[in-house]
């Protein structure tokens, strides 16, 4: 019953159930790399810092190759898709913005990738929002960063986490969300708000029973965002995520796309668009693909936000195109947005 309910509730990312052994086996062969080609216009180095929850956050710091450390630069903190790692979409954005003169940091969310947090693969909307503020702490401490000119970019699930962070952290002076997912709404309502109250109650009951099972020493269960194998009958959304996470295009061994079942239910209590108006007058930019299954999240967030705000629809782009398609991601627009508003 649990698998059937979960599949219907979380069809947006093709969640499947796996025991912990399946995930941990993947971790034994991890090697650091990135899914995109390095630009000769930037330098990148590994850094780390702690968030206020005591979790060590692993990150990559991108700087222009011709940086003058006696100057003060505008800076950006960048969070990637839910269950992804910094070597994927977040790194694509960080590199592109560093090419355009920004200091940019791409980080692994708490409990994910090379970041700390135990147990790993724990879903925590509080921690994921806090990670943005912790990244601001770190980047604002650099002597070549103007701490009054720090912005943030959230991609996919981080598009909602960056809004949560900005609501309570005024140091984030401008916010952009690309291919945003409202992680609370989709957890409660499923894709396209298709879940019924009965569906929700059954899912809550199943996860509650799984807590008893794990407390009693039973096998831990994980929701795998993108399965390792699909067939021609897979839903289009599943095929889209597969085309990124499970192919040479975007595959990374640390990006298991996994979150524990008993922690993921916490997203039902997550409302990133509540009180979004408090961010104003700091500007917000929402970017969505014309053909993205997630487009309605950005459109609804835009409607709830107060001015100054902007919504850009990218022609012919789907959801994952805005992860890595540098020919479609509007980096010049992003650059101008932050140059205009980080002042």
pLDDT at 17: 52
- Does the pLDDT at position 27 exceed 90? no
Interval 300-338: pLDDT, tens: 999 999 999 999 999 999 999 999 999 999 999 999 999
What's 305's domain CATH number?
3.40.50.1820
Domains identified in the chain, total number:
1
pLDDT at 10: 46
Interval 113-152: pLDDT, tens: 999 999 999 999 999 999 999 999 999 999 999 999 999 9
Q: At what angle do helices 2-9 and 197-215 cross, to 10 degrees?
A: 130
Average pLDDT over residues 41-70: 97
Interval 172-230: pLDDT, tens: 999 999 999 999 999 999 999 999 999 999 999 999 999 999 999 999 999 998 999 99
- Does the pLDDT at position 33 exceed 90? no
| E-assigned strand segments in the chain | 16-19, 42-50, 56-64, 73-79, 103-107, 145-155, 172-178, 221-224, 258-260, 284-289, 309-314
Least trusted range by pLDDT, from 8-12, 201-205, 235-239: 8-12
Q: DSSP class of residue 185?
A: H
Domain that holds residue 262: 2-341
Q: At what angle do helices 158-168 and 295-304 cross, to 10 degrees?
A: 20
Closest CA to 128 of 222, 223, 53: 53
Q: Is the pTM of this model over 0.85?
A: yes
């Amino acid at each position: 019953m649990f698998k059937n309910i979960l599949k219907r509730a979380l069809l947006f990312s093709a969640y499947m159930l796996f025991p912990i052994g399946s995930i941990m086996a993947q971790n034994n062969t991890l090697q650091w790399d990135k899914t995109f080609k390095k630009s000769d216009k930037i330098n990148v180095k590994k850094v780390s810092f702690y968030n206020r929850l005591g979790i060590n956050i692993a990150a990559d710091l991108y700087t222009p190759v011709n940086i003058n450390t006696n100057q003060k630069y505008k800076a950006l903190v960048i969070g990637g898709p839910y269950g992804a790692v910094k070597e994927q979409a977040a790194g694509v954005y960080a590199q592109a913005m560093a090419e355009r003169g920004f200091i940019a940091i791409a980080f692994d969310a708490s409990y994910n990738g090379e970041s700390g947090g135990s147990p790993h693969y724990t879903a925590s909307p509080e921690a994921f929002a806090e990670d943005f503020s912790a990244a601001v702490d770190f980047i604002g401490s650099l002597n070549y960063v103007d701490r009054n000119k720090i912005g943030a970019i959230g991609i996919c699930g981080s598009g909602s986490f960056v809004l949560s962070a900005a609501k309570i952290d005024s140091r984030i002076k401008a916010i952009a969300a690309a291919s945003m997912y409202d992680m609370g709404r989709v957890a409660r309502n499923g894709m396209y708000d298709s879940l019924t109250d009965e569906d929700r109650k059954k899912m809550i009951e199943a996860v509650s029973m799984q807590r008893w099972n794990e407390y009693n020493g039973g096998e831990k269960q994980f929701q795998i965002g993108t399965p390792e194998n699909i067939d021609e009958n897979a839903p289009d959304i599943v095929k889209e995520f597969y085309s990124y996470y499970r192919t040479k295009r975007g595959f990374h061994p640390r990006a298991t796309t996994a979150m524990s079942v008993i922690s993921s239910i916490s997203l039902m209590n997550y409302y990133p668009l509540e009180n979004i108006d408090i961010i104003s007058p700091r500007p917000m930019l929402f970017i969505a693909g014309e053909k993205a299954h997630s487009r309605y999240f950005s459109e609804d967030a835009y409607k709830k936000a107060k001015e100054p705000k902007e919504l850009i629809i990218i022609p012919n782009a789907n959801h994952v195109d805005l992860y890595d398609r540098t020919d479609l991601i509007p980096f010049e627009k992003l650059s101008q947005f932050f140059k205009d508003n980080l002042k």
